[in-house]
Structure formats: structure tokens, C-alpha cells
Structure 1
Amino acid sequence: MDSPPSDDGYVSAVELCDPRWWAGAVAAYSSWLGTRHAAPGAACCLQHYCGKVLPLVVAEWVRTGRLLSMRHEDWQVRVDENAATTAARHTAARHTAARHTAARHTAGHTASGTPAGVPAVGQAVADHVAPLLDGVLAASNLTRATALGGPAASLGGAVARLYAAADPADRAGIVRDGAAIIAVLEQTAGRALIRLDADGDVLLQTRTTCCLIRLGTERSFCDTCPRMDPIERVRRQRARTRRAHP
């Protein structure tokens, strides 16, 4: 299954569908975090990938109403020596007509005329993550819910950035649709994974699972960690939004 990287260092996301890839990646990521345990590396490695891919999908859908093809063959990623995904790109002009209109949230149709929209996006994301999840679970002792907390957090972060940049009249719909997409992952996990709470110009996010990065050497809580003091969590997220949208 191994294929050589492109001249600019990108490899096909198909490579990450092989459980053997995750065995090495989890070890490398955990070593980078400074922990002997596989779980932190597994959780963070998957979240790192999703944090580069899924925001592109959600942003394109909100902006144009088009769902990028989620076939792994249509994605390439650049992964560093620590198995952290540093960049992602979509390589095909292939889309699914899962329509989204930010202000009106009207559902569109697929080429066959079948209504599509939020459920189609959520299922496409879940299907894309599924083989990666299998590799992560095989390489670690993570529970399914803990592993899926990373993709859910990546979606939550993407929705929060779109929320902050959106016209106030569009924000409620963006939150509603973002939560519905995340809900598909939550069905797979069998539990809630993240809560989204509108707070003025900021969309606050609170995970229900921990990414475990705090277990690494000289590491700390992430900004959405459920173990962090709630006041500090809100302060950090507000500050992050102000930096991105001064």
C-alpha cells in the first residue's frame, strides 16, 4: 500500500487507512509528547489529521454549498517526522451536492434529485474518519468515544471560526448545522462529545472527553478541555477569538 510522497512532501490519505501506518505514527507522536503511553499519541495524532482536513470540508460547504469528495483517494496530507499532520489538500474536482446556504439554510439536492444537506455532510465525515479510527483503536487502548473526541473537537473548532466570521444573522444556523454534523460522530461514539454555546461573538466549545495531551512532558490542557477550570476555559477561548478576529 505504501506509495512515495510527492515532490512537495504530500502523501495520499489512503496511506492512513492502513492500520500499520498508525502503529508507527502513534509511537512517534507519543514520543514527541514525551510519554511512554500510546493513548495520548493516538488521540492527538488523529485529531491533528482531522484538524487539517475537516475545517476545509466545513468551510467549503458553508461558502459554496458543495460537499468536497471525502474519498481518501481525493485527499493528500503532509505529515512530519512526529506523525503530526501539518497540511492537507483536496486533489479532485469532485463534489457532492449537499447544499448549504448560510443565511437561509435551505437544503439542496444531489444529482439524482434526492434531498441532501446536513445529514449527508455528517455521514461523509463519519465515513472518512472510520478507517482512521480503526487504525487508532488497533494501535492503542483508547475507547471509541475518546478517539472520536478529536474529530468532534476539530469540527467544533471549524464551526467556531465560521461563527466568529459570520454575519450575526447567520450565526444561529451555523451553530445548529455544525452541531448536527457533530451529532453523527456522537452516534458512532454512543455519547455526547462536545458542547457548543454561543456567547456573543464567540462560540464556546466544551469537550466531554480529554485528548490526553496533558499527560505529555511539560504539556498542559487544551483550550476546550473538560478538566480545565471553566472560567479559564472561557477566558482562553475568548482570547483566541479576539486574536483571530481583532
Structure 2
Amino acid sequence: MSALLEVNRIETCYGSSQVLFGISLEVRPHEVVTLVGRNGMGKTTTVKSIMGLLTPRAGSVRFAGSDLNGQPPHRAAQAGLGLVPEGRHVFPNLTVHENLVATAGNRHKAAQSWNLERVYDMFPRLKERERNLGANLSGGEQQMLAIGRALMTNPLLLILDEATEGLAPLIRAEIWACLERLKTAGLALIVIDKNIGPLMRLADRHYVVEKGQVVWSGSSDALRSEPGVVSEYVGV
């Protein structure tokens, strides 16, 4: 099966400071892939490079057969990439309803498109808070809203950057259940998270990132069989 996303040896800098040193990865349709590693190793920079928020100085990013090199973020979104960013970044002065419909669309004519009804079925709490402003939601509710907003764009691939960070255990469990439902529905995912146990249950493959490079990649079974990888590159 051909790859949906192909990232080939990208190098990305912040000014004169280089962060990525030849990162390569791929995601196939309907596949769940993770980026794991300690803080500051280049995971979020990789996401920003994929989404066009940063422009790699070398290498290439291809998605659904299109070259995204040097393209602005809205082109990545139009191509079918959805992002749930670290820190949520919901629109604080818009209601839950307004946040969800602000960027909604079905550019790729999905037969079972994401709409308000489906998002509210996934997160009933958002229906209850429909008229509340984004700024007045709890952290967990904001995370649900950020996921719902991204789903309303009907992406072909959804990227989630630290979607469970700082959340209460019950809310984290609800987010993991959401991701399981998305996987069952066949949506391709890239997940960045520090919780290795749930990641290994959810994901098909993993990329371990250290100092801007992929130092290990493989399946969940392979990662379980090499506990030293987790202790060396992921553990605190």
C-alpha cells in the first residue's frame, strides 16, 4: 500500500539553530503512527514542518501525492491534513458551536463526513457546553473541542500533539477512547504523547526521535520486545 504521507530527510532550523537532521517517516492510509521521545528532541518541529508552519531547508514532504514543500499551512489543511496542536489553541472568544463550524468543510467528499452531530456524539460534554465561550471551558473540554474542530475539517490524516498532556485521568481515558474510535473508523493518525502504554495499544508503528533524528522505528510488538529503547530514549 502506498504511503499517504511521505517525509524524506527533512532538515529544519529556527534561525541559525538546526533542530531536525534528516527526519524521515511515512504514514499509510488507515494507519496509526507515533512520534515518541523526550521533550525538545524535535517531535513538534517535525509536525510544524509537515504542516507548513516551518519550512525545511532540505528534504521533502509529500501528502496524498502532492508536494507540500514550501506551501503555507492552509494548503496542507486543504490537502487533507488536520492538526490538534500542543496547547489546544481554541478560539477563546467564540462559542463551542462557533469553534466547530468556523473551519468546517468536506473538501474530499467523505461519505460519512464529520459534522456537529458526530462530534457531539463523540464528546457529549461539548453539546452541553455548546453556547459557552472557548475561554470558559475546562482544560479537558478545550482538548475535546480542539479535536472536534480538527475533525470538522474532515482530514485524511489527523495529527495530535500531546493531546492528553495535563489532563485528569478520567479525561485522558476519554481521549484515548476517542482515538480508538477514530482508528476503528479508519482515520490515519500521527500521535505524539508521553504515555507509552496506551500508545503501544493504539498504534501500528512508532518512530523514536532523539536530537532531531529517528533512532528507532518499528511495530508495537517490536517496541515491547526492546524495553531498552523506551528506557534510553523515552523514559525520564
TM range (shorter): 0.3 to 0.5
With normalisation by structure 2, the TM-score equals 0.36
- Which structure shows the higher helix fraction? 1
- Which structure shows the higher strand fraction? 2
With normalisation by structure 1, the TM-score equals 0.35
